[in-house]
């Protein structure tokens, strides 16, 4: 299978995990969008909580009922993609710009299922993808300097020559780091940095990772 076929196969497997009556977190990104499309095609009677405005628009157009995160006490399932995953099933997310809402929705779910193609598999997080860090616009250059002091190399994400604004009105700094830095320690340090809203490390969050491979869908469990 090519990459598009891998993603479709994973989306179909993930959508089959959804049962009528469930409250489901709907992720953001190419593979997550295929899951939303498959749920709409199957006309599964669920209530979705979208992780971005783009996903919310897609869900509404597909006839999927939506609720805000504050309107549900608990989600049965969240399905979302990732930019990288390692052998421990830890993830980097946020290249789609929705990492804050993605993390809020993921942590509200009884189960988090990650849907990816095999190209996202790495031996160690950060091999290919940077770590997205969402920061408030006010004084963002000072926040960048504080992140640099942690050993990170942050760059402001832009689109069409202008800073990208998230759905929450924040900026994203894409950060590279020395591979010798411990992920858990780095995550804690970044989270404690003044001006940081959230980071794209999803450590210990995914229960299951569905991987589209050339030979079909591989299911990995924590």
Q: Could you tell me the CATH number of the domain that includes residue 42?
A: 3.40.50.1360
pLDDT at 31 over 80: yes
pLDDT at 76 (0 to 100): 98
Output DSSP code: residue 121.
B
Which residue in 102, 119, 158, 219 is the catalytic one? 102
- Asked if the structure places residue 222 within a domain, the reply is no
User: What mean pLDDT is predicted for residues 115-121?
Assistant: 96
CA-nearest of 85, 101, 81 to 36 is: 81
Residue 102 and residue 210 share a domain: yes
Helices (H), 43-156: 53-61, 99-107, 140-149
Instruction: Give the domain range for residue 188.
Output: 131-199
Number of domains, the chain: 2
DSSP 17-73: T--TT-EEEE--SHHHHHHHHHHHHHT---EEEESSHHHHHHHHHTT-EE--GGG-S
Question: Taking residues 43-66, what's their average pLDDT?
Answer: 97
Q: What is the CA radius of gyration of the chain?
A: 17
Give 1 or 16, the one with higher predicted confidence.
Answer: 16
Question: Could you tell me if 68 and 148 lie in one domain?
Answer: no
pLDDT tops 90 at residue 7: yes
- Beta bridge partners of residue 113, listed in sequence order: 79, 208
158 flagged as catalytic: no
178 lies in some domain = yes
Question: Which pLDDT belongs to residue 103?
Answer: 98
- What is the reported pTM? 0.95
What does the pLDDT average to over 192-198? 98
Segment 110-122 shows an average pLDDT of 97
């Amino acid at each position: 299978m090519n990459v598009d076929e891998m993603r479709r196969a994973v989306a179909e497997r993930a959508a089959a995990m959804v049962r009528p009556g469930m409250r489901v977190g709907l992720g953001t990104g190419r593979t997550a969008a295929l899951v939303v499309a498959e749920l709409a095609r199957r006309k599964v009677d669920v209530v979705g909580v979208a992780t971005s405005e783009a996903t919310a628009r897609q869900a509404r157009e597909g006839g999927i009922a939506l609720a805000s995160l504050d309107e549900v006490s608990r989600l049965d399932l969240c399905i979302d993609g990732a930019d990288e995953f390692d052998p421990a099933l830890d993830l980097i997310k946020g290249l789609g710009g929705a990492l804050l809402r993605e993390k809020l929705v993921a942590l509200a779910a009884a189960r988090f299922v990650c849907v990816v193609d095999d190209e996202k598999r790495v031996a160690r997080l950060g091999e290919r993808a940077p770590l997205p860090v969402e920061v408030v616009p006010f004084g963002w250059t000072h926040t960048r300097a504080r992140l640099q002091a942690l050993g990170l190399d942050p760059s402001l994400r832009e689109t069409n020559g202008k800073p990208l604004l998230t759905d929450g009105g924040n900026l994203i700094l894409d950060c590279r780091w020395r591979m010798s830095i411990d992920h858990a320690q780095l995550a804690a340090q970044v989270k404690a940095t003044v001006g940081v809203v959230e980071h794209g490390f999803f450590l210990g969050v995914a229960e299951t990772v569905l991987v589209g491979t050339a030979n079909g869908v591989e299911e990995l469990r924590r």
